[in-house]
Amino acid sequence: MGGQVAIITGGGTGLGKAMALEFSRLGARVVLASRKLENLEPTAREIRDRGGEALAVPTDVRDPAQVDNLVARTAAEFGPVDILVNNAAGNFICPAENLSVNGWNAVLGIVLHGTFYCCRAVGRQMIERGQGGKILNVIATYAWNGNPGTIHSAAAKAGVLSLTRTLAVEWAPYGIRTNAVAPGPVDTEGAASQLWASPEASRVVRSQVPLNRFGRPEEIAWAAAYLVSDYAAYVNGEVLTVDGGAWLNKGMFVYRQALEQVRPG
């Protein structure tokens, strides 16, 4: 990734921060973009302290003008964008029948619309420059699974999956590869506070993962690094699921019990 310029939305916290640290370790110049400078600056400082190059640009991805400004500032300070990671998100648990219009719009706005605005702004620049590029969208396995309580996020992630596949085809002639990573549960502060706030909820989530543990942020960052690297030069329009086997874990409980009974010892 030496010398490449990477924008990571939501790059100050959680998985975005892990990606920023890893991309920087691999030589990228990283631009961190989210609403709050207090989330961005400490991560940018950490990267600089490690000898890397990082820029913090406060951006609400729901606002296309702010997204255009992000791309313009990146170009002015670091040069044209080689890598875009759409990682920013918002989420909370709410029964579908109780979800307000504002709640729906908040999550769709960040996840689906924000991803489109970022792809559009960066894609225009990549197409004009004529040297290709890499786009990576962060989704979740409930883009294709049922997940009660997060209808806004699930619908938005499904939209981003569709957008990923469409751009993979539409922009491939420009040398732009578009892929997605679908993390399983990773105990970041953002996800934990919104989705498994109690010890009991956390235990239940973990117990559904065949590997019987949460993922680590760097395990998602490694997958992201692969997808934007030349090791994945022929990978386009794909989803890499990194979830310890969680979404496949649909076996009926009764069979699991039966398996335990016939297992030797």
| Contact status: 144 vs ligand HXC (CB under 6 A) | no
Interface residues for ligand NAP in 121-180 (CB under 6 A)? 138, 140
| Contact status: 39 vs ligand NAP (CB under 6 A) | yes
**Rounded Cα distance, 14 and 91, in Å:** 14
Nearer to ligand HXC, 58 or 90 (CB): 90
Q: Which helix (H) or strand (E) holds 242?
A: strand 239-242
Torsion angle of C-alpha atoms 20, 70, 108, 115, degrees rounded to 10 = -70
DSSP 22-81: HHHHTT-EEEEE-S-HHHHHHHHHHHHHTT-EEEE----TT-HHHHHHHHHHHHHHT-S-
User: Which residue's CB atom is positioned nearest to ligand NAP?
Assistant: 190
- Per DSSP, the three-state class of 175 is coil
| Contact status: 21 vs ligand NAP (CB under 6 A) | no
Nearer to ligand NAP, 10 or 52 (CB): 10
| Contact status: 153 vs ligand HXC (CB under 6 A) | yes
User: How far is CA 135 from its chain centroid?
Assistant: 11
Per the annotation, the verdict on 255 as an active-site residue is: no
DSSP, res 216: P
Q: Which stretch binds ligand NAP (CB under 6 A): 7-15, 123-131, 163-171, 252-260?
A: 7-15
Note whether 158 and 137 are within 8 A (CB).
Answer: no
Of positions 81, 186, 221, 228, contacts ligand NAP by CB under 6 A: 186
Of positions 106, 127, 235, 239, contacts ligand HXC by CB under 6 A: 106
Q: Which of 142, 226, 234, 255 is catalytic?
A: 142
Output phi, psi for 34, to 5 deg: -160, -175
| Contact status: 229 vs ligand HXC (CB under 6 A) | no
Contact set with ligand NAP (CB under 6 A): 9-10, 12-16, 34-36, 39, 59-62, 87-90, 110, 114, 138, 140, 183, 185-186, 188, 190-191
Q: Which residues does the annotation mark as catalytic?
A: 142
